[in-house]
Structure 1
């Protein structure tokens, strides 16, 4: 029997890698595609831990390459589920880069990935509810519904008038209506 609810800590994943020559571009910085691969892997593991199911990547929000990560730096990726919906989950990933000889750590990337839990036949499967336990978890949890509604509108899978959480941020009256 599957859990009916879980907490954020149940889905936490931490992965640490060192940037090696084969991971870099011609400027000796970590290739963006390599980092996105690492982010997708930790996010998928986090979603699997929450759902106890096979998961597939449904969407990736904007990944801003804020700071390059140099050859020899250590990269730590931290992923956690921020909210679970019916069959989907939003996962937050933060990437911390570390130049150990210089004793310098910095947040280099943040992103939200969405996963759908599926059964052995590839059909969407119900996921447990997520219960936030502290202020930071609650903030990410509340924001997840707004981010979800925005994703659905951009994918043309939701009418802007139905985006109840976004109405409080924007005046959506009249959007999508014929003049």
Structure 2
């Protein structure tokens, strides 16, 4: 798998799937979540509301992932994942790693071969960007696609970390070098 990092607006990337650093309600928010909802248009919110009424009445759990259409975005799908919030005592790196591996599981299950991630849980959720970068890169490198319901031959071929700042880019580049 090709793994790269760059400064980019995730809402502009022409990849199969972009990953949304969502909150558990799936109904939009600030940061990456708000930008994705705004760029995707109102049909994304409508689909998220349907998910809440049907399969996710209690919201999406931390570390899990679910897909929707991408609507007005150049991507085909949005994979929503809820990162752990350090301010709420969610400090287990395994929960953060799960955001990346479950998102890849979901993306591969859709047939996606190219996926873009933001720096999940960095920023408003209180995780240090160096820790996020290390956990993210290790999780993506360790993901094999050989999971129930996922054919590893049809897996994700390229992952891009789409980052918002030079500081985040430096952290992810360092993690990729290690």
- Provide the TM-score with structure 1 as the length reference: 0.29
Higher relative contact order (CA 8 A, sep 6+): 2
Higher helix share: 2
Which has the larger share of strand? 1
